[in-house]
Amino acid sequence: MPTPVLEARDLRKSYPWGRTRLEVLRGVSVCLQAGESVALLGASGSGKSTLLHLLGGLEEPDGGRVWIAGVDLFGLGAEARARLRGQQVGFVFQFHHLLGELSALENVALPLWMGGASRREAFRRARALLERLGLGDRLDHRPSELSGGEQQRVAIARALIRDPVLLLADEPTGNLDARARDEVLELFEELRRERRTALLLATHDVQIASRCERRLLLEEGLLRELPP
């Protein structure tokens, strides 16, 4: 078997809750191969966002291990972990986290430019992605001049700009209308098919989940696979 793009074993995470602790994850394991699309389902507050943060190295687990492309994520120091995350993982958050002083084009180009690409190449690729997402006429607009759905599409383009091997998406189409939602899902499918990007997509939408190859349910801190 090839090395998984993502592998996690026995992840555990809890938070202070009054005089005790709230167990959010109680031993979660998951594995994704290159080009695989997996939907992560669960009720609000079930821990889907926490799991995505752990898998991408944004938070540290209380226990368990994560490998990205065979590299032990939490065996790295903070700087090396951030570098791996920037090179290999794309995030799409529930909230956009765009830089308000930059244009849409600059927000998308920035990760690639900071990663060592030339300014010309970074802006060329950013422009192509934004045009693919229907924002070709909004390149010079700042986030405050964009609708919520437009901001989300900018955030998605930013997550994809460095061709990550793994895309972690937290309700990525929640603020989009049906047409924009379908465009985003088609782009995800294109990445999966052509670039072999692995996708883990947290969603409440069963219809969106049905478009993924596998569906996982997070419930009471445990993860189980749903039948096809």
Domains in the chain: how many in total?
1
Question: So what's the pLDDT on residue 221?
Answer: 94
User: How far is the CA of 31 from the CAs of 48, 74, 77, 142, 210, in angstroms?
Assistant: 15, 16, 23, 38, 19
Report yes or no on whether pTM surpasses 0.75.
yes
Residue 188 is predicted with a pLDDT of: 84
Is residue 92 one of the residues assigned to a domain? yes
pLDDT tens digits for range 63-108: 999 999 999 999 999 999 998 988 899 998 877 789 999 999 999 9
C-alpha–C-alpha distance, residues 192 and 205, integer Å? 20
Query: Any idea of the CA torsion for 186, 192, 194, 195, to the nearest 10 degrees?
Result: 130
Lowest mean pLDDT among 56-70, 95-109, 171-185: 171-185
Q: Given this model, what pLDDT does residue 136 score?
A: 93
Q: Residue 170: is it exposed, middle or buried by C-beta count within 10 angstroms (0-12/13-18/19+)?
A: buried
How much is the pLDDT for 201?
95
Taking alpha carbons only, the member of 6, 60, 58, 61 closest to residue 30 is 6
The secondary structure element, H or E, covering residue 68 is: strand 63-68
pLDDT at residue 59, as a whole number: 93
What per-residue confidence (pLDDT) applies to 107?
Answer: 95
> CATH code at 153?
3.40.50.300
**pLDDT surpassing 80 at residue 161:** yes
Q: How far is CA 89 from the centre of its chain?
A: 7
pLDDT of residue 206: 86
Q: What percent of the chain has pLDDT over 90?
A: 61
Decide if 1 is inside a domain.
no
In tens, the pLDDT along 193-227 reads 888 999 999 998 888 899 999 999 999 999 999 98
pLDDT at 174 over 90: no
**Residue 141 falls inside a structural domain:** yes
- For β-strands 6-17 and 63-68, DSSP reports them as antiparallel
Asked if the structure places residue 37 within a domain, the reply is: yes
Q: Is the pLDDT of residue 163 over 90?
A: no
User: Is residue 81 assigned to a domain?
Assistant: yes
Answer yes or no: is pLDDT of 61 > 90: yes
Residue range of the domain that includes 173: 6-225
DSSP 20-60: EEEEEEEEEEEEE-TT-EEEEE--TTSSHHHHHHHHTTSS-
Coil, helix or strand for 153?
A: helix
Nearest C-alpha neighbor of 165 from the set 12, 39, 59, 7: 7
User: Are 199 and 169 within 8 A, CB to CB?
Assistant: yes
